[in-house]
Structure 1
Amino acid sequence: MDFSNYQKGTTSVWGGETELFPDGAITPPIVNSVTYGYKDLDEWHNVALGKAEGYIYSRNTNPTVHVLEEKIKALENAEAATAFATGMGAISNTLFALLTSGKRVVSLKDTYGGTSKLFLDFLPSYQVNVTLCDTTDHEQLEAEIAKGCDVVYLETPTNPTLKVVDIERLAKAAHQVNAVVVVDNTFATPVNQNPLKLGADLVIHSATKFLCGHSDAMGGVLCGSAELVKKVFQFREINGASIHPESAYLIARGMKTLELRIERQNASALKIAQFLKGHEKVSDVFYPGLETHPGYAIAKKQMSGFGGILSFALKGGYDDVRKFLPQLKLVHLAASLGSVSSIAGPPRTTSHVELTEEQRKHLGIPESLIRYSVGIENVEDLIKDLDQALSTL
């Protein structure tokens, strides 16, 4: 079914679910079968070769997983989609499928810590040429892209400093040298931003976060060009980073309320950012919805909402972070984000725990920074909670 003429809330509910399931069920069944039987050998062979629809082995494809893939495909208006066991499974499989020895990738200094680890350690060990640019220096990025590259990897807004890059501008530069543009859209979600419409070739989500929305299932998704998704899928099915059907079911179920959750989180995050911006104990607030944010103009151009994540730095440094966070009563101190309940923590224990303090400093991430993922709680209660915790400093 073509969802291009429907709004995101409708697509979130009906994507991948327009037909009745076996026995007339209106809810997707969790199909735990590892393998699928055939009485006709020719039919079996055609399905195995991809010449006919069907399932062979759940490491490759699965009916429950297919629902999730169709849902994200519809939300991002993509040609194809494939799912992974985790968000990092999606990121690493995509990069290793597209980059081999001698190839070059241009990216940002501000990507998620696990992604940074791939760029700083893993890919160079496979003789992949990695160039990381200052995230908001579009001229430097364009100059490096113009030298020739195979992949341009972007993340916007970035984790955890909420920097914003111009997807359309950089995609044009990348396509001039025939590079593939990959965008991590986890923070923005398909409700707030659609990179494929801005020129990207592939979009990645850590489905564990906002797509799932309840911190009870892990997964990753990739969508975009059918040709490129197939290339990554073939790497993934052999590499084995397949998502479990139960996780796929939980994520797809969570996605049905995606628009409702994101609209609430967008509004609450902006109010909280405005509150923190004026607080005497806070030195910096990073949220693209603030007009004082350096990337506000770009964010306003390419995003329909500014997201449910913000970060802020305390004037007293990491000592204040240690005092402040345990005083919060309506926030989980944990390493994830995008849930119905608010979650907070410093990069040294969350987004960039894999990196050393020196590496975080090199990437421009202060130890005084706190990443705050806004839940769906009443925003006035969250602001009161932040205020009382700040008053203890």
Structure 2
Amino acid sequence: MTERNKNRFETNAIRTQLERSKNLEHSVPLYLTSSFVFDDAEDMRASFAEEKERNVYSRYSNPNSSEFIEKVCQMEGAEAGFAFASGMAAVFSTLAALLNSGDHILSARSIFGSTHSLFTNFFPKWNIDHTYFKVDEIASIEKLILPHTKVIYAETPTNPGVDILDLDFLGQIAKKHNLILVIDNCFASPYLQQPIKYGADLVIHSGTKLMDGQGRVLAGITVGSKALMDKVYRFSRITGPALSPFNAWVLSKSLETLAVRVDRHCENALTLAKFLETHEKVNWVRYPFLKSHPKYAVAKKQMKAGGCVVAFEVKGGIRAGQKFFDAIKLLSLSANLGDSRSIITHPASTTHSKLSVDERAETGITDGMVRVSVGLEHIDDIIADITQALA
């Protein structure tokens, strides 16, 4: 990775670029190649022996992937990274590379449904167990640390309840007990929050979300310390979850507009959240930069703005919720988020449907909860659609 420079976030997103080819292109070209050639036998031997840093095979590295990784490292303040074919590929590969049979994960209970399934259905096969802590009981997590605990894992803001965890507190606990702190930073993006500043060792993103921002590609990325990322890299180059060069190229271009897009996402989301707080058919609203959010002060400390996701509950239970969703006209009924198009989701029947009723209750997911990924449409049109659906 290149030396960190003093340019601002927005400048790095645009000007972090690989060396130009002999064609001196202004926009970085696509490198749609599976392999690379060598000058002679010694060059090939030295390359495979890792005595020189160069591209060998696109499952290991590719110029487009390398540029995307370097941009995210610049944004997050990380030393190294690896890009994956999806966000869940990043979550699995990162943890699988770091954990051994007999290790223990201490995780926040409010996590993405697929991550929960990974912890409960697959890791136990390899004798890797976990303990959950509730997001509102973070102060007591130290007593949950076991002799074989190796990783603390959390999302903040959480999916889908938009809860906030104190990164500084988690960083201090991880350092005190010599644990690896892994943070899923997907809901915030590197523009709004940099967990490494607060002690995170590794940061994971689903590039499918705000990084792409237009619902075009699947991607994931993990960045962090060089020592830990070397383990992730060596695991991943063998197991093969690498991001495709084309998707890496798309994402690298998308990052150039990340700041301006996320600014509008956050502006629209806060306006919608404030509107919903006053609506007679809404029980409650959860958004990090609402003063009513229980962790408002923490969110203001560690985030630049509140993000694109608003959670709220429709009065009237499941039947009222179904009527509300069926009445939506403009917003998309989909399970993605961070898109330029506003998306509305019912977590209990979609993204977190594999959880039992009790498990959903533990994470604050009620039958009437609605998750809105607020897009870039005019805010008046977003509010108008939700208003007529609530009516």
TM norm structure 2 = 0.96
CA distance in 2: counterparts of 1:294 and 1:390, whole angstroms? 25
Shift, 1:50, TM fit: 2.3
- CA apart distance, 1:361: 3.0
The 8 Å contact of residues 12 and 256 in structure 1, kept in 2 or not, is answered as yes
- CA distance in 1 between partners of 2:49 and 2:72 (Å): 25
Partner deviation per Cα, 1:306-360 (whole Å, 9 max, x = no partner): 1011111111112122111232222111110001111111113443244344432
Of 319-328 and 275-284, more deviation after overlay is shown by 319-328
Q: Which consecutive residues of structure 2, in runs of 5 or more, have no partner in the other structure? A: none
Give the match's secondary structure for 1:23: coil
The separation in 2 between residues aligned to 1:133 and 1:368, in whole angstroms, is: 24
Alignment of 1:108-147 (within 5 A): 108-145=108-145
Q: 1:7 is matched by which residue type in structure 2?
A: R
* Residues 317-336 of structure 1 aligned to structure 2 (within 5 Å): 317-336=317-336
Superposed structure 1 runs of 4+ greater than 4 Å apart: 1-4
Take 2:113 and 2:96, find their aligned partners in 1: how far apart are those partners? 17
Letter in 2 for 1:203: V
Is the Cα–Cα contact under 8 Å of residues 214 and 339 in structure 1 kept in the other structure? yes
2:167–2:199: 8 Å Cα contact kept in structure 1?
yes
1:194 counterpart = 2:194: yes
Q: d(CA) in 1 for partners of 2:12 and 2:318?
A: 43
Shift in alpha-carbon separation, 1:21–1:326, aligned structure 2, 3 A? farther
Does 1:7 pair with 2:8?
yes
Cα-to-partner distance string for 1:56-113 (whole Å, 9 max, x where unaligned): 1111111111111111111111100110000000001111111121111101110111
Contact 1:149–1:177 under 8 Å retained in 2 = no
Q: Which moved more, 1:183-192 or 1:117-126?
A: 117-126
* Secondary structure class of the residue paired with 1:136: helix
Aligned: 1:210 with 2:210: yes
CA distance in 2 between partners of 1:5 and 1:142 (Å) = 37
Conserved? CA contact 1:107–1:152, under 8 Å: yes
CA distance in 2, matches of 1:82, 1:378: 36
Q: Do 1:84 and 1:241's aligned partners in 2 also have CA atoms closer than 8 Å?
A: yes
Spell out the pairing of 1:261-300 with structure 2 (5 A cutoff): 261-300=261-300
Q: Mind listing any 5+ residue stretches in structure 1 that lack a counterpart? A: none
**Counterpart position of 2:163:** 163
For the residue of structure 2 that corresponds to 1:221, the secondary structure is strand
- Give a deviation string over 1:141-167, Cα, whole Å, max 9, x none: 122237662100011000000111111
Distance 2:72 2:249 in 1: 13
- 8 Å contact from structure 2 (residues 104, 146) kept in 1: no
Pairs within 5 Å for 1:238-387: 238-387=238-387
- Cα distance in 1, alignment partners of residues 257 and 226 from structure 2: 27
Aligned-residue CA RMSD in angstroms? 1.5
- Seen in structure 2, the aligned counterparts of structure 1 residues 310 and 129 have a Cα distance that, compared at 3 Å, is same
By how many angstroms is 1:133 displaced?
0.6
d(CA) in 1 for partners of 2:130, 2:6: 40
Amino acid at match of 2:19: E
The 8 Å contact of residues 330 and 385 in structure 1, kept in 2 or not, is answered as yes
Return the alpha-carbon distance in structure 1 between the equivalents of residues 316 and 337 of structure 2. 25
Question: Aligned to 1:24, what secondary structure does the other structure show?
Answer: coil
Distance 1:100 1:188, change over 3 A: same
Contact 1:12 1:71 in 2 (8 A): yes
Q: Give the superposition deviation at 1:286.
A: 1.1
Map Cα deviations across residues 258-280 of structure 1 (whole Å, 9 max, x no partner): 00001111111111001001111
- Alpha-carbon offset, residue 210 of structure 1: 0.2
Aligned partners of 2:119 and 2:129 also within 8 Å: no
Alpha carbons 2:151, 2:179 under 8 Å: kept: yes
SS in 1 for 2:145: helix
- C-alpha separation in 2, matches of 1:309 and 1:148: 35
Query: 2:263 is aligned with what amino acid?
Result: E
- Which AA in structure 2 matches 1:47? S
